[in-house]
Structure 1
Amino acid sequence: MEQGNGHHNLDKISGAGLLVALGIVYGDIGTSPLYVMQAIIGKSRINEEVVLGALSCVFWTLTLQTTIKYVVLILRADNRGEGGTLALFALVRRHAKWLTIPTMIGGAALLADGIICPPISVSSAVEGLEILYPNIQTVPIVLVILAVLFLIQVFGTKVVGGAFGPIMLVWFSTLGILGFSHVIQNPLVIKALNPYYAYQLLVEHPGGFALLGAVFLCTTGAEALYSDLGHCGRGNIRISWVFVKFTLLLNYFGQSAWLMAHNGQYLNGRKPFYELMPDWFLLPGIAIATMAAIIASQALITGSFTLVSEAIRLNFWPKIKLKYPSAQKGQLYVPSINLLLFIGCVAVVLYFKRSTNMEAAYGLAITLTMLVDTLLMSYYLYTHRYNMWLVIVFLVVYFAVESAFMLANLEKFAHGGWVSVLICTILATVMFIWLKAGQIKAQLTEYTKLATYIDALKELSRDVSIPKYATHLVFMSNASRTSEVESKIIYSIFEKRPKRADIYWFVHVDTTDEPYTMQYKVDVIEPDDVIKVTFRLGFRIEQRINLYLRRIIEDMVKNKEVDITSRYESLHRHNVIGDFRFVVLEKFLSYENELPIFEQLIMKAYFFIKSFTNSEDKWFGLDSSAVKIEKVPLIIRAIDKVNLQRIYG
């Protein structure tokens, strides 16, 4: 398998790396024991056959789905050291444009997961207080925790992030110890390792197949192992997973042992997870569980920020404000997404109120992400010339397994599953509108050859009868070819208002499929008159064009490729550097259009969404004091018949 030339050695293993992996990778999957066995039993009478069958399903799900699919196979498909659904898509999209829509659905499902996971994790942990204080109202506590969690995002996680690893180490150790203490009381629970019990539950037990929806909750978060590849490294994730899986299984087996000891009874609000704890440990146990749930939520929030930033640069999402609270890698804050997640989480808590009610909403959307990962990975294996039989087996096996989970989860649709599907649909629709509108604009943007206007630009530059607009005039251009610019730029220079400048710069930014590319190319089309700069920036690189262009010009001056001093005689004698002014063309939909209804809806929705997003100059990181925004009409299909008659008299 092709190894990514990442920014660090992916297979390197270190104690610090293992601790970091525990802190940021396993939050979601690591807090699943809080609610999985409870979701499986639900309001039914505890049945030993169901317990053993469900436990067997949990074991084989964690083995097949999490261990083999993600830890063993998908972690190998890194994109220059980075992982995740969008990073995997970037690896294969040149060969498979048809995977664009499935990828958007998978990304939207991950964002939907970021709205459901924090409420269910925190609620499950906090509800443990009801054992000690039966009349306590947990919803306000959950809301306060979530509010604080989202409020501190603006500061980044640098300060508290260092504690995540040790806390999660304590959490997983607690899971293992609690589980082991009950397994030794009922060793027969080990029988669940036999897949026959899973088969018996799914095929022979009435309603057994529907329980797969609850079983699936044990593997939600598996995709985070891949998404956090760049933060932790493949080696650290694989080694730490051995410990994490062992402690998770010990806890699931321990809960099952407790359930079997209460065969024939109803849970009646009891939580199998907390029933493992001795009375003296309940309060500290609840505190540890709550901290683990908060860390799990933080991991989902951070993952959502990263996902959106990648989606923006792949033109899947509107250009919204991104902030970097510190210089530390991975420190990203997206205000609008933070607000969206917070509102969504609060709505989920207020609507469902209890974690048991949220279980139905959780899991359905994430099966879509896993199905998409299966499609993308299959195509990755195919394009990297793996044995065709291996590709087919991988695709068929995992598509079948995940489709089964999907069908089982669909049975929860009416009980709350519709919430995650609705969220996913809304987010995927936004992505589709943004992508489709971009395609429509790209198809109808007219380009012209720069060479045609070189003489005119030189004449304009030397025409003293026209007031100088700027010493250096910089246009942001979408034209990827060195020899071209948009016709609208030429119109802006010569016709809208003649813009006289000493040097005309045309800057194009190309987003690459590799995450951390930082390259540029300079084409001096006409020395000291017309220059084009092309940036090649990875989809995880912040577009700080103002800074980057300044560095490029400094290098060009040093190499005597350009003279940037003012051409005013009095200023030139004193080597005064001329001013720089940026022009950004912002399109609006012209009224002079005849569009099919579908395209009308797409473009209207696009411009409506765009009204809430960052302007182009802010997105490119330009100095706002030196930027001119020019609005230009986007005429997609001009009206050719106008029944207008002149009358006389």
Structure 2
Amino acid sequence: MEISGACNSHHSKEPTLWNTLTLAFQTLGVVYGDMGTSPLYVFADVFSKVPIESEVDVLGALSLVMYTIALLPLAKYIFVVLKANDNGEGGTFALYSLICRYAKVNKLPNHQPADEHISSFRLKLPTPELERALNIKENLERRSSLKTFLLLLVLMGTSMIIGDGILTPAISVMSAVSGLQGEIPGFGTNALVIVSIILLLLLFSIQRFGTGKVGFMFAPILFLWFFSLGAIGIYNVVTHDITVIRALNPFYIYLFFKKNSGDAWSALGGCVLCITGTYCH
């Protein structure tokens, strides 16, 4: 079957400036709310595995955090992952559904008659990119093992997101509440756990109102949080040691691993905490 031209009868309404600003404000309470809590426990976890013995340890760990954020959330997700969507919907199952509509790779028999036209089309004079895509599509449709492997990847990715959704709130809340230890007399481990459980129950109880309302509720709080982080950070850099900007040099990452060898690789697991939340939104 050949398709020489096609017309799209569906015209999506262009978002207005107000809608864009509203969505941007909501992301403060949803997406960046998860990312913004990471500074609470990243360095504590990193330096629990690598003791601070020289400025190389501090600058190397800071440089590692900065470039982890730059390479994964910024480079990978903004420039690559956001372009892969299913009519604006993202996520593991949305992308899997998109693949299943254009290739017969689904292990479950849910194909519709209209999918036959999508899955079997051929273009005139395909470009090299389209030719590679067709080859991949045909290999996926022909080999049952690749279909199973693709499904396992989808299930694994979804399981990791569910695991993050369970672990991250608990770690974030307990890390925040742990700041009260030492400040309030008698506030020990038992009190820390009880207060954290109460806060988590309150937070999860309001999820039923929807992401939009929750985002608007927490957006002003997160705005103050980020403003405070930025203001305090700038003040500390200017007041105490402005040479900390040397961490922008990725060479300190090499020095960090050279100095600490195996311990540095263990600390790398703690560094990944700085990007929690970026892969599930």
Normalising by structure 1, what TM-score? 0.32
2:177 is matched with which residue?
126
Deviation of 1:30 (Å): 1.4
1:53 is matched with which residue?
60
Q: CA 1:132/1:81 → structure 2, altered by over 3 Å: closer, same or farther?
A: same
Matches within 5 A, 1:129-528: 129-136=180-187, 137-156=191-210, 160-184=214-238, 185-206=240-261, 207-224=263-280, 227=281
CA distance in 2, matches of 1:113, 1:99: 21
Task: Say whether residues 1:25 and 2:56 are aligned partners.
Answer: no
1:75 is matched with which residue?
82
1:111 maps to a residue whose letter is: I
CA distance in 1, matches of 2:12, 2:27: 17
CA distance in 2, matches of 1:205, 1:44: 7
CA distance in 2, matches of 1:14, 1:74: 20
2:65 maps to a residue whose letter is: V
Deviation of 1:31 (Å): 0.7
Deviation of 1:51 (Å): 1.2
CA distance in 2, matches of 1:7, 1:166: 31
CA distance in 2, matches of 1:189, 1:196: 14
Mapped contact 1:58–1:218 kept (Cα < 8 A): yes
What does the per-residue CA deviation read over 1:119-166, in whole Å, with 9 as the maximum and x for residues that have no partner?
Answer: 100001111111421431211100111122233444546655422222
Task: Say whether residues 1:99 and 2:150 are aligned partners.
Answer: yes
Q: Secondary structure at the match of 1:46?
A: coil
Q: CA 1:157/1:92 → structure 2, altered by over 3 Å: closer, same or farther?
A: closer
The higher relative CO (CA closer than 8 Å, separation ≥ 6) is in 2
What does the per-residue CA deviation read over 1:411-448, in whole Å, with 9 as the maximum and x for residues that have no partner?
Answer: xxxxxxxxxxxxxxxxxxxxxxxxxxxxxxxxxxxxxx
1:104 maps to a residue whose letter is: L
Q: Secondary structure at the match of 1:83?
A: coil
Q: Secondary structure at the match of 1:210?
A: helix
CA distance in 1, matches of 2:80, 2:186: 48
| Count of matched residue pairs | 221
CA distance in 2, matches of 1:103, 1:196: 36
1:466 is matched with which residue?
none
Q: Secondary structure at the match of 2:89?
A: coil
Mapped contact 1:201–1:208 kept (Cα < 8 A): yes
Mapped contact 2:25–2:216 kept (Cα < 8 A): no
1:42 is matched with which residue?
48
* Unaligned 5+ runs, structure 2: 1-9, 104-136, 141-146
Matches within 5 A, 1:9-20: 9=14, 14-20=20-26
Q: CA-atom RMSD, angstroms?
A: 2.4
Q: Secondary structure at the match of 1:222?
A: coil
Q: Secondary structure at the match of 2:195?
A: helix
Q: Which has the larger radius of gyration?
A: 1
Deviation of 1:111 (Å): 0.4
Q: CA 1:163/1:153 → structure 2, altered by over 3 Å: closer, same or farther?
A: closer
Q: CA 1:6/1:24 → structure 2, altered by over 3 Å: closer, same or farther?
A: farther
Mapped contact 1:6–1:80 kept (Cα < 8 A): no
Mapped contact 1:122–1:142 kept (Cα < 8 A): yes
More helix by share: 2
Deviation of 1:14 (Å): 3.0
CA distance in 2, matches of 1:11, 1:192: 40
1:119 maps to a residue whose letter is: A
Percent of counterpart pairs with the same letter? 39
CA distance in 1, matches of 2:159, 2:15: 27
CA distance in 2, matches of 1:193, 1:148: 40
Deviation of 1:52 (Å): 0.8
CA distance in 1, matches of 2:176, 2:36: 12
CA distance in 2, matches of 1:153, 1:179: 32
Q: CA 1:6/1:143 → structure 2, altered by over 3 Å: closer, same or farther?
A: farther
1:213 maps to a residue whose letter is: G
